Amino acid sequence: MTLFQTIVIGIIEGITEFIPISSTGHMIIAEKILKMSDNEFNTVFTVAIQLGAILSVVVLYWKKFFDFSRWQFYVKLIVAVIPALILGLLFSSLIDSLLESSLTVAITMLAGGVVLIFVDNFFKNPTIHDEKEVSYARGFIIGIWQCIAMIPGVSRSAASIIGGMQQKLTRSASAEFSFFLAVPTMFAATAYKIFKYLRTSGSFTSSQMEALVIGNLVAFVVALLAIKFFITMLKKHGFKVWGVYRTVVGAVLLVLILAGYLNG
């Protein structure tokens, strides 16, 4: 993996992790365009650098994450992450195989785009405006919604935010809870991927460690800016703009795959 490839993937991850357009889907397509090698480390890399983006949430919302007097906040996140932990372990091999499929990304990008165009009309009259009002049961259900994003191209943030809206959270409250939930989810996913890789390969090479450090750092810095941008856009315009983007990108990808310009 070259330095240029590392930085480009890190930028893409930082921009797309919290915007409902699928960070994994964009990285899969970017890897193919950049002609990156299809190997186990690159698969680990695309998961591991998500941790850098996720840590930006801890920095931006540090008062909430380090307010240890509010123990219920941590319990809610643990409860909400349980579905992803269980399904991630059960279907790890299937998920890995889908990560190689551009066709899967194209279809889910297109289908997800159509959903986002109309989703603001589905869930009206929210009653929950803050994380403090989210019950453990609601948190668990949002965690189930999040699991849909195990399919590349779906978008973890979109799935969990829509799950929050279905549970009567406002758009902004759903977005914030989705950001909070991303921390234990991506930490667990990264730790599991690294553990599996080290169990078979023994260790990372110096160049691989360099790629991981640079990728995470780039993703972290870019994500700090992307979060604030997304929250502002979500409050003003809802999901429609992202739905249109996803629909266009999904359609273009399908055309490129069918025309043979992009491997499916």
Question: Does 263 map to a domain?
Answer: no
Question: Does 57 map to a domain?
Answer: yes
User: Which residues have CB under 8 Å from 216's CB, separation 6+?
Assistant: 10, 48, 49, 51, 52, 55
Domain span at residue 243 reads 3-258
The pLDDT, as a whole number, for residue 230 is 85
Q: Report d(CA 107, CA 113) in Å as an integer.
A: 10
| 33: pLDDT strictly greater than 80 | yes
CB 54 within 8 A of CB 186: yes
| 97: pLDDT strictly greater than 80 | no
Query: In total, how many domains does the chain have?
Result: 1
Q: Report d(CA 194, CA 103) in Å as an integer.
A: 27
Q: Report d(CA 253, CA 61) in Å as an integer.
A: 36
The pLDDT, as a whole number, for residue 75 is 96
Candidates 139, 141, 161, 183; CA nearest to 230 is 161
Q: What is the pTM of this model?
A: 0.88
Question: Does 94 map to a domain?
Answer: yes
For the segment 102-120, what is each residue's pLDDT rounded down to a tens digit?
A: 888 899 999 999 999 999 8
* Residue of higher predicted confidence among 95 and 244: 244
The pLDDT, as a whole number, for residue 74 is 94
Per the listing, tokens 């973890």 go with 156
Long-range Cβ contact pairs of 227-234 (< 8 A, separation 24 or more)? 227/18, 227/56, 227/57, 227/60, 227/179, 228/60, 230/18, 230/19, 230/175, 231/172, 231/175, 234/171, 234/172, 234/175
Torsion of the alpha carbons at 83, 84, 87 and 93, rounded to the nearest 10: 180
CB 137 within 8 A of CB 91: no
List the single range of 97-101, 160-164, 204-208 with lowest mean pLDDT: 97-101
Residue environment code for 2-23, b if the CB has 16+ CB neighbours within 10 A, otherwise e: eeebbbbbbbbbbbbbbbbbbb
For the segment 167-215, what is each residue's pLDDT rounded down to a tens digit?
A: 999 988 999 999 999 999 989 989 988 998 899 888 899 999 999 999 9
The pLDDT, as a whole number, for residue 4 is 95
Question: Does 186 map to a domain?
Answer: yes
User: Which residues have CB under 8 Å from 189's CB, separation 6+?
Assistant: 47, 50, 84, 88
Name the pLDDT band for 250 (thresholds 50, 70, 90).
Answer: very high
CB 50 within 8 A of CB 186: yes
The pLDDT, as a whole number, for residue 172 is 87
Question: Does 54 map to a domain?
Answer: yes
State the maximum Cα–Cα separation within the chain, in Å, rounded to a whole number: 58
The pLDDT, as a whole number, for residue 232 is 83
Question: Does 24 map to a domain?
Answer: yes
The pLDDT, as a whole number, for residue 98 is 73
Question: Does 264 map to a domain?
Answer: no
For the segment 34-49, what is each residue's pLDDT rounded down to a tens digit?
A: 888 778 898 899 889 9
Q: Report d(CA 89, CA 150) in Å as an integer.
A: 11
Q: Report d(CA 149, CA 157) in Å as an integer.
A: 8
